Amino acid sequence: MQVATPLHAFLRMTSGIFLELNSRQCLAKRPTTVNFRASWERMRAGRVRILWLVLGALLLVSALPIGLYHRQVLQLSQDKLIDNERVQQTDLTRSLTQEIQFFAANMTQQLVNEVQILALMNVIDNVEDPVAEPKGHACIGELRGQQ
**pTM of the complete model:** 0.45
Domain ranges of the chain: 38-146
Cβ–Cβ under 8 Å, residues 135 and 123 = yes
CA distances (Å), 118 to each of 27, 106, 110, 138, 139, in order? Answer: 136, 18, 12, 11, 7
How far lies 13's CA from each of 1, 19, 22, in Å? 19, 10, 15
In Å, what is the CA distance from 67 to each residue of 56, 61, 100, 134?
15, 11, 49, 83
Judge whether 95 and 101 are in contact, CB under 8 Å: no
Q: What is the pLDDT, as a whole number, of residue 25?
A: 52
What is the tens place of the pLDDT at every residue in 45-58? 666 788 888 888 99
Low-confidence ranges of the chain (pLDDT < 70): 1-34, 39-40, 43-47, 146-147
